[in-house]
Structure 1
Amino acid sequence: MTSTTLFWAPFAARAALGFAAASIGILALAPHAEAQSISPTVTSQNKAAVEGKFDAWKAGTGNPFELLADEASWTIEGNSVASKTYPTKEDFLSDVIRPFNARMSIGIKPTVKSITADADRVVIHFDAAGTARDGKPYVNTYAWFFQMKNGRVIRAAAFFDAIAFNDLWARVTPAG
């Protein structure tokens, strides 16, 4: 071997390891193999189920939380006062949704911008507006990412404007 080859050998080895690690990372980010085998019918059923619950929410006859499996985890991303992972449906409802609704005199209604489905994944982008108990409007934009199984949400991640949420949470005391 030449001195140039000896010089580059450790870098080449590190590059190969880096490439392997990157490949593993990419595979970890890819949809699960089970998701790839889900039929287009399941994709459309998942989307229709979510659309139906959002329509019911807007009409005041239901809500998307009805889709949550009992063991569903819900993660609020970012830096709001409620940001963390709630390990079950009941944890999420009792710690976030019921106290949120108790701060509202007119509950929020969604205006869906888009619902996109791919296999067991459904993404909902929507605006929501309502009136807090202090008479001030609450307006926010949300992006929810659902993973579904057998027509139920088993994992969710939510993104929204934490400033608007935190303001409501601090400003308005929940109704008793």
Structure 2
Amino acid sequence: MFHQQRNQPAAADNGFLAPVLSDFLALAFGLGLGFMIPAHSAVARADTREAQNKAPIAAGFDDWKNGTGSPDDHLADNATWTIAGNSLASRTYHGREDFLANVIRPFNARMSGRLIPDVRHIYADGDTVIVHFDAAGTARDHKPYRNSYAWFFTVRGKRMVDATAFYDSTASNDFWRRMRPDA
């Protein structure tokens, strides 16, 4: 049935195949574009959302590096912040003030100057923003403090509503034990 004999003219010769093929290609192309446009729009929306979520985090790290602010400036008042692992500070902090009072202020009180971050990369996927960075500074005992971090944020409305921090707990514990924040 599909085999054509030699002496029989091809269907295209009598004008049958060309319009059918043309209609088929037009339909396939139209359907293809119909499916591609929404997919492209969804990707564009995701890229825009991810860029919007990265922006306040990146700005906070830039401000921190320049000494004009901190990522904490974008932390929601009711945020949770979990320090993973086995460091002396490892637990979940409930609310911005709990985190600042029990981690940031005691940490800064142990420093003779600022801890300065060096961001390796900021990644975003949906509402999750991950910052991989190193930070270094000098403690009040004039010894260096260095650590590498990975902070995972959930961002909503340009505010960090949830955070999980990973870092070298050995370096952190050594720093935390060497001096008291009020000494």
* Structure 1 equivalent of residue 110 of structure 2: 103
Whole-Å Cα distance in 1 between the matches of residues 181 and 76 of structure 2? Answer: 26
Question: Does 2:152 correspond to 1:145?
Answer: yes
* Structure 2 equivalent of residue 55 of structure 1: 62
**Residue 118 (structure 1) shift:** 1.3
Question: Does 2:125 correspond to 1:118?
Answer: yes
**Residue 46 (structure 1) shift:** 1.1
Whole-Å Cα distance in 1 between the matches of residues 180 and 94 of structure 2? Answer: 25
Q: Is the 8 A contact 1:132 1:172 kept in 2?
A: no
Aligned with residue 42 of structure 1, among 39, 49, 52:
49
Whole-Å Cα distance in 2 between the matches of residues 55 and 82 of structure 1? Answer: 25
Aligned length: 140
Whole-Å Cα distance in 2 between the matches of residues 47 and 138 of structure 1? Answer: 27
Unaligned runs of 5+ in 1: 1-35
Q: Which amino acid in structure 2 is aligned with residue 62 of structure 1?
A: G
Q: Specify the SS of the correspondent of 1:107.
A: coil
Aligned with residue 72 of structure 2, among 59, 62, 65:
65
Q: Which amino acid in structure 2 is aligned with residue 86 of structure 1?
A: Y
TM-score by length of 1: 0.77
**Residue 102 (structure 1) shift:** 0.2
Whole-Å Cα distance in 2 between the matches of residues 144 and 39 of structure 1? Answer: 21
Identical aligned residues as a percent: 56
More strand by share: 1
Report runs of 4+ in structure 1 exceeding 2 Å deviation: none
> RMSD of the TM alignment (CA)?
1.4
* Structure 2 equivalent of residue 81 of structure 1: 88
What does the per-residue CA deviation read over 1:82-139, in whole Å, with 9 as the maximum and x for residues that have no partner?
Answer: 1000011110100010000000001210000010011111000000000000000000
Q: Specify the SS of the correspondent of 2:87.
A: coil
Question: Does 2:165 correspond to 1:158?
Answer: yes
Q: Which amino acid in structure 2 is aligned with residue 132 of structure 1?
A: A
Task: Please tell me whether Structure 1 or Structure 2 has the larger radius of gyration of its CA atoms.
Answer: 2
What does the per-residue CA deviation read over 1:39-73, in whole Å, with 9 as the maximum and x for residues that have no partner?
Answer: 43221011121111101100000000111000000
